[in-house]
A and B are shown apart, each in its own frame.
Chain A
Amino acid sequence: MTGAVQLLATGISAEQDVFALRRDGRAVAEIVGLDPQDQIRLATALSEFGRDRIGCADATCRFSLRAEPAAILEVALRWSGGPAPAAETLLSMRRLVRELDQEIGCRRGRIILRYPVAVPLEDFAAAAERVTEALSMGVAASREEDLRAQTRDLIVALEEARAHGEELKLLNEELEQTNSGVMALYAELSSELEQTNIGVVALHAELEDKTRRLREASEAKTRFWANVSHELRGPLNSVIGLSRLLADAPPEELGEAQRQQVELIASSGATLRTLVDELLDVAKAEAGQLIPQPAPVDLGLLLAELEAVMRPAVPNPGVALVFPEPAGLPALVTDETMLTRILRNLVGNSLKFTESGHVRIEVAVSGSDRDRIEIGVEDTGIGIPEQEQARIFEEFYQVRGPHQRGKAGTGLGLPYARRLAELLGGSLTLESAPGRGTRMTVSLPAPAAGAAADTPATVPCLVCADDDPAFAAVFRPTLTRLAERVIELRDGADLLATVRREGADAVVVDLDMPIVDGYEAVRLLAESEDLAAVPVVVVTGFALADVDMARLGHARAVLAKESVDASRLARALGLAPLDEGAS
């Protein structure tokens, strides 16, 4: 008779193992014939133990049947690599199991549960075998069941994974669709943009075409004006001439009344011709046929002439025509004819619309570099309403109103004046308030500094040193045109003393001189403090290539005797350019 029969052994590592242990315990208890309450107690005790021991490195449960002293079911629980079981767990087990031995060490331990079973001792071996057999079947069945459940779980998990994959695929497809939608939108937008672009290009071309046609129309208009006014002048001249002739007829041929009528015809004809001339002028200006010919202009003289012309045109004795003082007016380089026309137009215009007060002409220098000359024409006339101010520079435009009554005009004066001012490189601007008057300002560029006006045309005293009396004689007239007083020397020796004594304003020296030559004279002049500012010009018979220019740095210029003339000398001395023809 053997002492013990091993029934079953299981390990405990995971939660499912607790469940299995519980079930195994129950099965064993049932097969060995424990009463139902004890079956539950054992299973519950194993459950408590198993849950407590899950964290252990190694925990096992071993079921066995023992035959001595009586038949008992022994359940041996062992563990290692973990803390001792909780006191509560041990208490629970003690409550459920009648016989319990425990050996609990530091890291390992053992608990033995014992239940008496109703197995006859004499037949123990056979009974034990029966138990083992039954157990192996039952446990195997339940193990199989576990496996099946695990497989089921696995299948479910797989299914879930598959569904997940499907979902991902679906999402991917959706994303792809969105993507293609975005691409389509992008394509649509870019094609729209392209179309807009094409439209813009077409519009641009159309605009260009319009501009060209406008320009052509404008040119045609100008041509038309020029032709028409030209054609009109012929017959008009005949009318004027013939009516003059008629007016001069002897008194017996023409009654007083007829003579007056003929004179009216003549004066109307003259007015008409003025208008036609204006028209022709504007047409020429528009066509770019007027080319300014700038020349130095004496503004005082110009204004005096203008005053002589305009004075008789003052319609009303209550209007004062005020011109500036001729002295001190700035110099001007411009086209005199054009400037006269501009001013005549402006002054005429002002006189026309001024009932009382004054028409004043003013001249001023302006600009940050004093580079503009402004000629203002100011009146105390009816003024121009603000909304009309831009339009009065349009051709044929006239401000409507009672002031027009009895005033002839084409509406060409101001546009013409502005056009001329622009041709002269200037501008024509307007300030006006209705009832207060108008101020028209012609702004013209001032001549480049140093070219005119401020620089005198002559110097008071000039000293010339040259040892060649023949050349000096030839040269003398030239010098007298540039200086009021000319002092001639034959050598450079007493040059400095003479210049100092006479207070000379310019020095002309020859290079080749017997005692003190030109090089030395220039050096002496450069080194003397009081005379260094006096301009020096060297005039020599040497070829210029042979002259040692490095020694003549102080001289304003080195000129050759064969080519020197008054204007070159004047330029070299910094004098105003000579008016050729004048002496």
Chain B
Amino acid sequence: MSDRVPILRIGENLLVSIQIDLDDQTVMNLQEDLAAQVVKYGARGVVIDITAAEIVDSFVGRMLSTIASVSRLLDAETVVVGMRPAVAITLVELGLSLGGVRTALNLEQGLAILAKRASAGAAGR
């Protein structure tokens, strides 16, 4: 039950695709692994795909926020993609807005956001 969520590297970005219903331990492992990988590869962006997650309760929601904050400290932007409508509604009803976490409808748009940011950053230099 303490499975690890695979983390894939696509260029400067890391992709986390959650394919199972998240339990608490898995989420905590994910936070540690992701931080380590961001540092290891010098990633500039992280995409977390929660398409498969049916239930996001307050704990998991807070963990997503935490992951985003940690990644930002490590100079990587986090985008959560593929949230189901029911999950979104539940999160709002719970009073959680995932503050500080960028969201996108799907993986494609999430990567586009990161690419835009990267080019903006490069142009800014």
Contact = CB atoms under 8 A, between A and B. Distances in A.
Contacts of B93: 41, 95-96
> Interface centre among A40, A43, A48, by most B CB within 10 Å?
A40
A257 B105 CA distance: 152
B55 A40 contact: yes
B23 interface: yes
A66 interface: no
Contacts of A23: 21
Contacts of A96: 90, 93-94
Contacts of A95: 93-95
A32 B90 CA distance: 20
Interface in B51-105: 54-59, 86-87, 89-90, 93-95
Nearest to A22: B55
A92 B94 contact: yes
A40 B59 contact: no
A583 interface: no
Interface stretch (A11-19, A293-301, A410-418): A11-19
B58 A36 contact: no
Contact of B89 (A18, A22, A37, A48): A37
A535 B87 CA distance: 137
A37 B55 contact: no
Nearest to B89: A37
Contacts of A40: 54-55, 86-87, 89-90
B55 A44 contact: yes
Contacts of A153: 1-2
A149 interface: yes
B33 interface: no
Nearest to A146: B1
A350 interface: no
Interface string B22-33: 011100000000
B21 to A, nearest CB: 7
Given A36-B86, A37-B86, A91 B95 contact: yes
B53 to A, nearest CB: 10
A92 B56 CA distance: 13
A407 B23 CA distance: 121
A366 interface: no
Contact of A41 (B23, B90, B95): B90
Nearest to B85: A37
Contacts of B24: 15, 18-19, 51
A473 B21 CA distance: 149
B45 to A, nearest CB: 29
A44 B1 contact: no
Contacts of B1: 16, 19, 146, 149-150, 153
Given A15-B25, A16-B1, A153-B1, A26 B55 contact: yes
A40 B88 CA distance: 10
A47 interface: yes
Interface in A35-70: 36-37, 39-41, 43-44, 47-48, 51
Contacts of B57: 22, 44, 47-48, 51
A146 B1 CA distance: 8
B23 A15 contact: yes
A44 B23 contact: no
A149 B21 CA distance: 14
A180 B72 CA distance: 55
Nearest to B22: A19
A202 B23 CA distance: 83
A48 B54 contact: no
A43 B54 CA distance: 9
Contacts of A149: 1
A51 B59 contact: yes
Given A15-B23, A15-B24, A149-B1, A47 B94 contact: no
Nearest to B25: A15
Contacts of B25: 15
Contacts of B87: 40
A92 B95 contact: yes
A88 B95 CA distance: 10
A150 B1 CA distance: 7
A282 to B, nearest CB: 96
A158 to B, nearest CB: 15
A44 B2 contact: no
Contacts of B21: 19, 22-23
Contacts of B54: 26, 40, 43
Nearest to A38: B86
A214 to B, nearest CB: 81
A44 B59 contact: no
The list of the 9 closest CB pairs from A to B, nearest first, reads A47-B57, A40-B86, A19-B23, A95-B93, A43-B55, A44-B57, A44-B90, A92-B94, A37-B86
Interface of B: 1-2, 21, 23-25, 54-59, 86-87, 89-90, 93-95
Given A18-B24, A37-B86, 6 more contacts: A37-B89, A40-B89, A41-B90, A146-B1, A150-B1, A153-B2
17 contacts: A15-B23, A19-B1, A19-B23, A22-B55, A26-B54, A26-B55, A36-B86, A39-B86, A40-B54, A40-B55, A40-B86, A40-B87, A47-B55, A47-B59, A95-B95, A96-B90, A96-B94
